[in-house]
Structure 1
Amino acid sequence: MRRLCLLLLVCCATATAAPDQQEQEMALSLSNDLARSFVLAPELALDAGLRAAAEQISAAHLARGKALISGWIAEERQLRAAAGQSTEGRYLYFAVWARVLNELALWQLEPGDAAYESATLAALRGSPQLCKLGGDSRFGDYAARIVRIQQLPAAQRAAMLASERALLAHWGQQRPAPAAWPAPLPQDAALALLKSGQARPALPPTLAVQLLSEKQSYAAMGREDQCLLQLWWFNHQLQQGVAPATALNAFRYGTLIHASDRFVGMFEPLAATQPTPGRQTYPGLATRFQAEGATVLQFQRDGDGKPQQVSVIGRKVEVPGIRGVRPVAFENVFDAQAIKYLTDNKPPSGTPLKLQLVWKLEGAQP
């Protein structure tokens, strides 16, 4: 909540500032926000040399990131003005914030060179300590990568750090398009296997209690336990002969920190707010970042015609500030509401087992 209050103060303070001062204030706020994703918590069990080298890399990247953000704010102002759109501070701020969040997501999904991928596979086959990141789980982006390097032999670490530096250098540049979303999502596939009763590897004890005894949903699990399930499924996939690149892509999507993870509950309407009957609720995060698009759902029917096994098989999302690349940080922003809408509203009999929901903002934009 403190973070939201600070954000609103920045938006309000910059609304009446001169453009140069406004851009400086926004750049400072967004740079400080970015820095949270590069913190290595003191409790992380890292060798001193690795921690020092990793912090050197992150400091250099954050300095470059601040310069990128300043340029993006100026670019966004120019593009909005040329298109006849408002250049008011709040619109600029959220557009550039969306771009920063998407750079984080693209970076998390991008594979490295062959040696980097091979070493990452080796690390992920190792200790469950990979999921213990310390600090705020919404900002464990960099920590997760450095903890993986800690699991590797010391002789491999310098090359891995060099690869991390190279991947960070891709920020703000044209990248190859990220691989497609895995279908089904790894957590859904893992839970389906557990439910099926088929032969499988043993679960870590903490997951066995939550998923088999307490029947918890994936969404209700803590971030560390979600990571453990992703790691369990990743190793099971490799044992089943799945191509390493496919398994790695699924793991990266499964552990990706989406915008909806970073701001869980922050922009949502009050629980007492009742949606219009028969209409899906527009997610508060999507409203705040002006996201629009479409969600394609696939489902089965039970004996009463009610939707079962609902899953998202297609996403097309547009977010102001993100141009020329997929807005991967926001692509799942409508997933939960889309699934809820379908399960709460039985489609007419004869409806195909695929349904597209279109998400469009109406009225004045906040």
Structure 2
Amino acid sequence: MNIFSIALACALACGITSAQAAAPEGPAEELRAQMLRSLHGGVAPAFVLDKDLPLDPALRAEADRLSAEHLERVDKLLPAWLDEERTRQTRAGKAPASTAVYYAVLARLLNELSLWQLEPGDAHYESTTLAVLRSAAGVCDLSGDYRLTDFASRILRIQALPAAERKAMLASERELLAHWGRPRAEPPPWPDPLPQRAAFALLQRGPADAGHPRLALPPRLAAATLGLGRDYTTMHPVERCALQQWWLRESMRAGVTPAAALNAFRYGTMLTAVDRFGDAFDKPGAAEKKDPAGPPPYPGIASHFGATGVTTVSVRVDAAGKPVQAAVTGRKVDVPGIHGVRPVAFENVFDATIETYAAQEGRHYDKASANVPYTFQMVWRLDGDKNATTAKGAKP
């Protein structure tokens, strides 16, 4: 269980009992302190640099100061967020359950991590980041728990710069971190298709030649994809990052704008709530066991965080109407605790479930066409308490 799962489990294990959750006077001071400690423990490891990360001592020291400053900022934000969410959830003078308040603030915290990963910097920051990703080797060679590499990945990119250029990039990182808890511009949209899908589609066309030109793959990436035949889900996180870096270079070679290439890389490497919690809620393969005639299962992580919404799915079918591949092309998700900004950390929370459901063996689509994908929407709605869930959508 990773540290984020521990932070989540603390809603039930760190003194937030059902009796306390139902108490009309709300959480006691000790309970509030436990919640704050747990929330801090949920985010702090993402700003700790692994001891094996190959950094110059001077850069590591500067990065450690930067992370300490930021965690001090977060610790000032969390009490206000707890109070704000408690007020939002109070209805007719009735205090909300402490677990509901905790989950909402944890969701907001996770979303700040994802928003930070997606947000562009100033022109110098963007051009320098792009130059590093296009030319530097080793920027994906992270160590430690890969669900906690948000900060380390950025510092490792700065490590690839000449020492004289690092100060300006650290200053830009400090400015981006200062945006936490503040109103933000709308995040750029999800790339469609996702960069990993686009990359594999190119690789599956066959060997690179005059008819299918492409940049050479790094040796480790070539061994994983072409040699061992791994798909994206089974690749090591370092290999996934390397694929995203290769695709950034390849897509720019093909004429994609720098801004679009960087956006695709950021979405491709963004750590979402699903990435962080892994299989804490849903066992691998759970969706494959569903009856094709029934609705898809409601993802456990979505249920626990109260996520609802609509996903748009495009299904490529063969001439007989059998699904060949399914992909989410639209996401509209709502999550308690996240207000006034897209819940980007949770927007893919239904993706794996609905794609498995839409493409599973035994399904048939009446409007079969080898050239025009079948498209439908799935509405995800919680009925009553979080143990009563339904997923409703157009039937193929």
| TM-based fold match above 0.5 | yes
Corresponding position: 1:211 with 2:225: yes
1:23-82 per-position Cα deviation (integer Å, ceiling 9, x unaligned)? 221111111110011011111111111111111011011011011111101111111014
Kindly tell me: are residues 264 and 310 of structure 1, through their superposed partners in 2, closer, same or farther at Cα, counting changes over 3 Å?
A: same
Q: Which one is further off, 343-352 or 201-210? A: 343-352
Q: Which residue of 1 aligns with 2:90?
A: 81
Q: Which residue of 1 aligns with 2:390?
A: none
Distance 2:277 2:266 in 1: 20
- 8 Å contact kept, 2:27–2:98: no
Report the CA distance between 1:83 and its aligned residue.
6.9
Corresponding position: 1:169 with 2:175: no
| Unmatched runs of 5 consecutive residues or more in structure 1 | none
Distance 2:384 2:364 in 1: 28
Distance 1:322 1:9 in 2: 20
Q: Which one is further off, 307-316 or 98-107? A: 307-316
- 8 Å contact kept, 1:291–1:318: yes
- 8 Å contact kept, 1:300–1:353: yes
Structure 2 counterpart SS, 1:297:
strand
Q: Which residue of 2 aligns with 1:358?
A: 379
Corresponding position: 1:322 with 2:343: no
Q: 1:255 aligns with which of 255, 269, 286?
A: 269
Q: Which residue of 2 aligns with 1:236?
A: 250
Question: Scaled by the length of structure 2, what TM-score is found?
Answer: 0.87
Question: Scaled by the length of structure 1, what TM-score is found?
Answer: 0.94
Report the CA distance between 1:157 and its aligned residue.
0.7
Report the CA distance between 1:247 and its aligned residue.
0.3
Q: Which residue of 1 aligns with 2:213?
A: 199
Q: Which one is further off, 71-80 or 13-22? A: 13-22
- 8 Å contact kept, 2:11–2:102: no
**Alignment of structure 1 residues 52-131 onto 2, 5 Å:** 52-82=61-91, 87-131=96-140
Counterpart residue type for residue 106 of structure 1: L
Report the CA distance between 1:85 and its aligned residue.
7.3
Q: Which one is further off, 185-194 or 41-50? A: 41-50
Corresponding position: 1:189 with 2:192: no
Report the CA distance between 1:20 and its aligned residue.
2.7
Distance 2:95 2:356 in 1: 34
| Unmatched runs of 5 consecutive residues or more in structure 2 | 21-25, 207-211, 388-396
Structure 2 counterpart SS, 1:14:
coil
Structure 1 counterpart SS, 2:231:
coil
Q: How many residues align?
A: 366
Corresponding position: 1:267 with 2:281: yes
Q: Which residue of 2 aligns with 1:306?
A: 322
Distance 2:279 2:16 in 1: 25
Q: Which residue of 2 aligns with 1:43?
A: 52
Report the CA distance between 1:363 and its aligned residue.
3.7
